[in-house]
Amino acid sequence: MKNKIILGLSGGVDSATAACLLKQNQESLEAVFMKNWDEDDDKDYCPAEQDLADAREVAQNLNIPLHTVNFASEYWDKVFSHFLNEYKAGRTPNPDILCNSEIKFKVFLDYAIDKFTDTNHKQTIKIATGHYARIREQDGQFYLLKGLDKNKDQSYFLHALNQNQLAHALFPLGELNKQEVREIAKSKQLSVFNKKDSTGICFIGERNFNEFLSRFLSTTKGDMVTPEGEVIAQHNGLMYYTIGQRKGLGIGGSKTSTGEPWFVANKDIENNRLIVVQGKDHPLLYQSELIASQIHWINDPIPAYPFSCQAKTRYRQPDQSCEINSINDDGFIKVTFSTAQFGITPGQSIVFYQDDICLGGGIIEK
């Protein structure tokens, strides 16, 4: 008995190539274009229109039924509200991770099961996406593995998925690299074969981030200061900056300047001050330990503390050796790295690995 596969078709080359591969395997396949952000009030920036047009062209070319659905309300409630609250608290969230666990593999999965389940045929509903990751089933459990293309692996963004979500998920691109993906799309004469990859946060895209954020949150300017308290410049609002940031600080020369570039080292929320240092080797930019909460483990049994593994504190960072220890009954953990890490940022995710297997992750607290 074949699965009934519902593909999230975004209008990009990755999901288009996933559609090619699934169609090639003669799967029972339909596609859904998800609109997760309401752009009615943003007439000058509406990429969803072009993405939908591209998705329709791909679906027509491959003779796949295409449905459209609007999850903007769910996205606002489950992802964007959290995003704003984190910035209000002076942290730097990663909404793409929450979008995967709460929208693409929860709301979309529920929608697919509800709309496409045919009780007469007793088909199992699977949802497919263009993510670069792999799933392996073993001994009744589903394991999330890195995509084989190390430059595109997206397991970092998928680490919060649970067993039920992985059981219903397919990642057709997990064994491919990006060049192969584009070549497949080109061979099928899909116009999106050379479409530029989308960048930035999912609902913000290419637009100016600071201008977008200012629509929803008010902010107060304050001092940029050295660790010794010397005022160097003015910041535009702490929410616009992240630990380790170099670009966009607007700091000119000063009497005590070494000529090296400036970096954000910390945020003094209480006093509305941004702590900045010079030189990427400054010790305040590096930490050997962090505290994390909201820990999610993908597989049972949950690891017994302490234990050693690898971790990433940001996407595309090489795996870093570390040891994990439990702190308290509330689920907080302490992660100690073998070497000090640059720019550890509260609000971001730390994701754990054993070689190619993604174990899970959590939110960096401090």
pLDDT digits (tens, 9 = 90+) for 144-158: 999 999 999 999 999
The percentage of the chain sitting over the pLDDT mark of 70, rounded to a whole number, equals: 93
pLDDT of residue 46: 59
Q: Could you tell me whether strands 286-297 and 169-170 are parallel, antiparallel, or unpaired per DSSP bridges?
A: unpaired
- What amino acid is encoded at 259 in this protein? G
pLDDT tier at 305 (50, 70, 90 boundaries)?
Answer: very high
Separation CA 76–CA 166 (nearest Å): 24
pLDDT of residue 253: 58
- Helix, strand counts (H, E) of the chain: 10, 17
- For 341-352, what is the mean pLDDT? 97
> Does residue 196 have a pLDDT over 60?
yes
pLDDT tier at 254 (50, 70, 90 boundaries)?
Answer: low
Asked whether the domain spanning 286-364 has the same topology as the one spanning 227-281, the reply is: no
Domain positions in the chain are 4-194, 227-281, 286-364
Angle value at C-alpha 105, between 104 and 108, nearest 5 degrees: 60
Identify whether 99 is a catalytic site residue: yes
Identify whether 322 is a catalytic site residue: no
Separation CA 194–CA 214 (nearest Å): 33
pLDDT of residue 267: 96
Q: Specify the CATH number for 286-364; select among 3.30.365.10, 2.102.10.10, 2.40.30.10, 3.40.50.11540.
A: 2.40.30.10
Sign of CA dihedral 189, 47, 70, 162: positive
User: Catalytic: which of 20, 46, 99, 309?
Assistant: 99
User: Catalytic: which of 20, 202, 322, 358?
Assistant: 202
Distances (CA, A) of 129 to 71, 81, 106, 276, 304: 16, 25, 13, 41, 33
pLDDT of residue 256: 58
Separation CA 335–CA 365 (nearest Å): 11
pLDDT tier at 1 (50, 70, 90 boundaries)?
Answer: low
What top-level class would CATH report for the domain 4-194? alpha beta
pLDDT of residue 208: 78
Of the candidates 105, 42, 107, the one whose C-alpha atom is nearest the C-alpha of residue 75 is 107
Q: Cα–chain-centroid distance for residue 112?
A: 22
> Does residue 310 have a pLDDT over 60?
yes
162 vs 209, residue with greater confidence: 162
118 vs 335, residue with greater confidence: 335
pLDDT tier at 216 (50, 70, 90 boundaries)?
Answer: very high
pTM of the model: 0.93
pLDDT of residue 255: 57
pLDDT of residue 204: 66
161 vs 118, residue with greater confidence: 161
- Quickly name the fold that domain 227-281 has: SH3 type barrels. (2.30.30)
- For 192-201, what is the mean pLDDT? 82
pLDDT digits (tens, 9 = 90+) for 22-75: 999 877 999 999 998 876 555 555 577 889 999 999 999 999 999 999 999 999
Q: Could you tell me whether strands 357-364 and 320-326 are parallel, antiparallel, or unpaired per DSSP bridges?
A: unpaired
